[in-house]
Amino acid sequence: MRLVSVVGTRPQLIKAAALQPLLRREHEEIFVDTGQHYDDAMAGDFFVELGLEPPDHSLGVGGGGHGDQTGRMLMALEPLLTASAPDAVVVYGDTNSTLAGALAAAKLGIPVAHIEAGLRSFDSHMPEEINRVVADHLSTWLFAPTPTAVANLAAEGISHGVHEVGDLMQDLAARISVEVRRPSALAAIASRLDLPIVTGGYLYATVHRAENRSPEALAAWTALFEAVATTGRPIVLALHPGTRVALEAARVELPAGVIAIEPQGYRTSLALQLHAAAVLTDSGGIQRESAWLGVPCLVLRDRTEWVETVGGPGSSAVLVGLDTALALRELRSRAPEARSAAQATDRAESLHLAGSGAAERISSTLRSATQHSGSPA
């Protein structure tokens, strides 16, 4: 099969890194980077670190509003797809790049393969929710990571072409986790970034979603961070460029207990999660990674599309929104400061993460489709 794969953000590069070796072994892949994450801190270094081939086409779309950004992607993708005449277009996740890739392909009558199909937060105010719903309804092959995702698609009347395959991000996390388990991995990061941290002696945080960039939300989560950070357990915040701009525009300062660092590469991010006492995030990707690593995770959202990771006391993650009292209560329960060093050490030493096999299932399904004259397997 001749495939055009469309990516544009860090999470999509992670998924592509897990799938690309198999796609290129069994298919002809044309790799397109829209440039949605357009600086080295957010995406550029990932190509080298994850062993991704350089993109065959870099669209350089950059930032902008949702309509403007998606429109410029569509304008760039349509002639590219027309010229390359692929058998299918592969899109990942729920970003504007996903939406543009699916729309451009569908308008040209090219089948779409959507990886991470069927996820639903049931919050139509989230741009990501709109993107994933539209992509699913345009797709020929819907590669769902979980049984819940399959059920969501069935509830919307989509059953043909649906395949439960597992999670590509778990495949890559399993491969890399072996490299970051040792305390020396964290020590090297602490030295390189000049961070005063040891295993279990810090909290790791990321905040990037649009709903957490309003002035009210910025004030709420920085107050939450101020309450949960302590002298002996600071917060290491990998600060998204967009969130940094929003903080500056709203004139909201990070509390003294928060150490802001630039967005990190994949291995560093995984290591900082694994060796932390707990994680605070609004990221779906980090929510899942922390679950696979067994790290307590406080999700800074009121709802999530990754429902399997949240639940009662035995679950890895809990939804706390921007509720400071709830966050403090959950941290005391899940990662008490007096025991967090021992908990994190035991967790790292005992980690044996297996892959999900998603890459093999996706590639095999597409190969089977070729054998059946391009119809959904």
| One domain, residues 188 and 155 | no
Q: Based on the domain organization, do 209 and 311 belong to the same domain?
A: yes
pLDDT in tens, 187-225: 999 999 999 999 999 999 999 998 999 999 999 999 999
Residues 185 and 161 in one domain: no
User: Are residues 290 and 222 located together in one domain of the fold?
Assistant: yes
Find all residues with CB under 8 Å of 160, minimum gap 6, and list them.
376
Residue 172 falls inside a structural domain: no
Residues 323 and 229 in one domain: yes
What is the tally of structural domains in the chain? 2
CA atoms within 13 A on the CB side of 215: 3
Q: How much is the mean pLDDT over the chain?
A: 92
> What pLDDT does 61 receive?
86
Measured CA to CA, the distance from residue 197 to residue 203 in angstroms comes to 10
Rounded (10°) angle between helices 266-274 and 340-350: 130
**For residue 55, is it within any domain?**
yes
pLDDT at 93 over 50: yes
Tell me: the pLDDT tens digits for 99-152? 999 999 999 999 999 999 999 999 998 899 999 999 999 999 999 999 999 999
Q: Which residues contact 312 (CB under 8 A, 6 or more apart)?
A: none
67: containing domain: 2-167+356-371
**Looking at residue 51, what is its pLDDT?**
83
Give a yes or no: residue 63 inside a domain: yes
What pTM value is reported for the model? Answer: 0.88
Which is catalytic among the residues 27, 114, 163, 208?
208
Instruction: Report pLDDT for 375.
Output: 45
**pLDDT of res. 10:** 84
Q: Give domain status of residue 376, yes or no.
A: no
CATH assignment of the domain containing 216: 3.40.50.2000
What's the N-to-C CA distance of the chain in angstroms? 14
How far is the C-alpha of 213 from the C-alpha of 52, rounded, in Å? 31
Q: Enumerate residues 6+ apart whose C-beta is below 8 A from 273.
A: 204, 279, 286, 289, 290, 293, 295
Residue 244, in any domain of the structure = yes
Integer-rounded Cα radius of gyration of the chain: 20
The answer to whether residues 50 and 183 belong to one domain is no
Give per-residue pLDDT as tens, 109-119.
999 999 999 99
Do 210 and 108 belong to one domain?
A: no
153 and 211 both lie in a single domain: no
The DSSP line for 252-268 is: -PPPTTEEEE----HHH
Are 278 and 161 within one domain?
Answer: no
Phi, psi values for residue 88, rounded to 5°:
-160, 155
* Catalytic residue check, 160: no
User: Is 377 inside a domain boundary?
Assistant: no
Same domain, 107 and 241: no
What is the C-alpha separation between 276 and 80, in angstroms, rounded? 44
Q: Do 130 and 217 sit in the same domain of this protein? A: no
Average pLDDT over residues 299-309: 91
Answer yes or no: do 314 and 363 share one domain: no
Distance between alpha carbon 89 and the CA centroid of its chain, in Å? 20
